[in-house]
Amino acid sequence: MQRFDSRTVTYSPAYTLVPTYECFNRCTYCNFRVDPGKSSWLSLEAAESKLMPLQSQGVCEILILSGEVHPHSSRRQEWFGRIYDIAELALSMGFLPHTNAGPLSFEEMRSLKSVNVSMGLMLEQLTPHLLQTVHRHAPSKVPEVRLQQLEWAGELQIPFTTGLLLGIGETQEDWWETLNAIAQLHARYGHIQEVILQPHSPGSEQTWDAPAFNPHQLPEVIAKARQILPSDIAIQIPPNLVPDSNWLLACLDAGARDLGGIGPKDEVNPDYPHPDARQLREILEPEGWELVPRLPIYPHYDSWLSPRLQEAVEQWRNAIRAVGLKV
């Protein structure tokens, strides 16, 4: 388990597959979605062609990130089947899948547990006020619906990532309320691996006219989050959304210890390219930080996995140890 007084910062060598950009929600800050029926779905053949070159590039995590099909849509079963099949394909090719596809039913989550080493869903913010503003046309952003996902993940023993989106119209007290809700669920189930603190960063496709979250506030939020959250939950920040290296370092000093999945494109924030590991090391190492890769599941959750998934994870842990790197 990572110590937060250490000088170690982790990241996941990752690649994102998008089954579909279609989404029935219309969050006004979104730079990801397209209208239902306006995007082709990723075929298994296309997914395989994207994955094959990655087998020799050290990529361990395949993030399956999807727009949402309405729970009562006639295409829901097909959509879920595509996500499951892509996860199964990635696993069969030697990768470790992690799915974030919006709110799922209990049975959908149970099914995906067999082909994912971990899963995730952003809480964003729990204040109902946002249902009258940025989430007015986003039915799946009802706070109770998203909290239910975290509870089901705990009941199903799914290692889970969640997080807050900062600067979408919430108050500072809303941050602490959301963090406390995460802490309480983790105290009950012990299943939250990471909490992402993601600053709103305006993109070219959003319809909401609002400024970026001030990144200079981020260290203060991290420090308070570190007080609220249990010590075994890592605080993650996206380095492409904190482009000033001095403020990135300040975030680490405040208690952040993970930089998330680093890959060729941030699908959620496509206007903000990811730095690569070499660029990050050039920032961190002169200040005494060590950047090391990790898997999308933390070691103390390995026993929650099926034997098949445990074997896949152990192969990756052995491979990374063989080159002298930490996980």
- Tens digit of pLDDT for each residue in 80-132? 999 999 999 999 999 999 999 999 999 999 999 999 999 999 999 999 999 99
Which are the contacts of 291, defined by CB distance < 8 A and separation ≥ 6? 9, 10, 11, 259, 277, 280, 281, 284, 285
Query: What are the structure tokens assigned to 214, written together?
Result: 């001030």
Rounded to the nearest integer, the mean pLDDT of the chain is: 95
Confidence category of residue 247, pLDDT binned at 50, 70, 90: very high
> Which of 232, 236, 124, 235 has the alpha carbon at shortest distance from 187?
232
Domains of the chain: 8-322 (3.20.20.70)
Longest CA–CA span in the chain (Å) reads 55
pLDDT of residue 39: 85
Question: Other CB atoms closer than 10 Å to residue 147's CB: what's the count?
Answer: 18
pLDDT band at 6 (very low <50, low <70, confident <90, very high): confident
Spatial distance between the Cα atoms of 31 and 54, rounded to a whole number of angstroms = 26
pLDDT in tens, 198-231: 999 999 999 999 999 998 999 999 999 999 999 9
Query: Cα torsion at 25, 271, 255, 13 (round to 10°)?
Result: 90
pLDDT confidence bin for 5, thresholds 50/70/90: low
Model-wide pTM > 0.85: yes
